[in-house]
Structure 1
Amino acid sequence: TWPANSPDLNPIENLWDIVKRKLRDARPNTLDELKAAIEASWASITPQQCHRLIASMPRRIEAVISAKGFPTKY
């Protein structure tokens, strides 16, 4: 599959996981709190986190090739 359809090869999925974990911790009760929590979660993602995800791509690609398209640890 193409990367857009493969979470193993789509680092944005990892960023969304970070946001979701932070939202669970924030436990917003209103729509305004939810919006604020989403914005704060997204803003808290560091350039270093993005760099690590990009740097992990060669390992991810190798894992997908080795798994012959089956799920990987990523």
Structure 2
Amino acid sequence: NGIRSVDWLAQSPDLNKIEPLWDYLKDSLEEYRFKGQSQATKDEVKGALVLEWEEIPMDLINRHCLDLPNKLQLVIKNKGDNNFHG
């Protein structure tokens, strides 16, 4: 299929491109005022999650994905250590 796979460390959240999107989503949900833990509230949270997920700007997704090669080069440069701010 032309897609090359690579081994990936399980504990590398800074290299996981979904993490910044979760942060963005969490920040987007702060405007909502969910109350309680009823099924209705859970359904409201799910609905808000779907709505906000669909509103994540594509340029934000692209920016994080396109930055991955740079992050990987930093890991290589640091001999596997991904404890950096880059």
* Bin of the TM-score, shorter chain as denominator length: 0.7 to 0.9
Shift of 1:39: 0.9
> Aligned residue for 1:38?
49
Separation of aligned partners in 2, 1:67 and 1:35:
40
Report which of the two structures shows the higher radius of gyration computed on alpha carbons: 2
Q: Which runs of 5+ in 1 are unaligned?
A: none
Instruction: Quote the sequence identity (%).
Output: 36
- TM-score normalised by structure 2 residue count: 0.66
Contact between 2:74 and 2:82, CA under 8 Å: does it hold in 1?
no
State which drifts further: 28-37 or 49-58: 28-37
Unaligned runs of 5+ in 2: 1-6, 36-40
**TM-score, normalization by structure 1:** 0.74
Superimposed CA distance per residue, residues 15-59 of structure 1 (whole angstroms, 9 cap, x where no aligned partner): 111111112222322222211211111011122111111111122
For residues 15 and 3 of structure 1, do their structure 2 counterparts lie closer, same or farther at Cα, with a shift above 3 Å needed? farther
Number of residue pairs the alignment of both structures matches: 74
Q: Higher helix proportion, which one? A: 1
Equivalent position of 2:22 in the other structure: 16
Please state whether the residue corresponding to 1:5 is helix, strand or coil. Answer: coil
SS at match of 1:45: coil
Which residue does 2:31 correspond to in 1?
25
Structure 1 stretches of 4+ moved >3 Å: 65-68
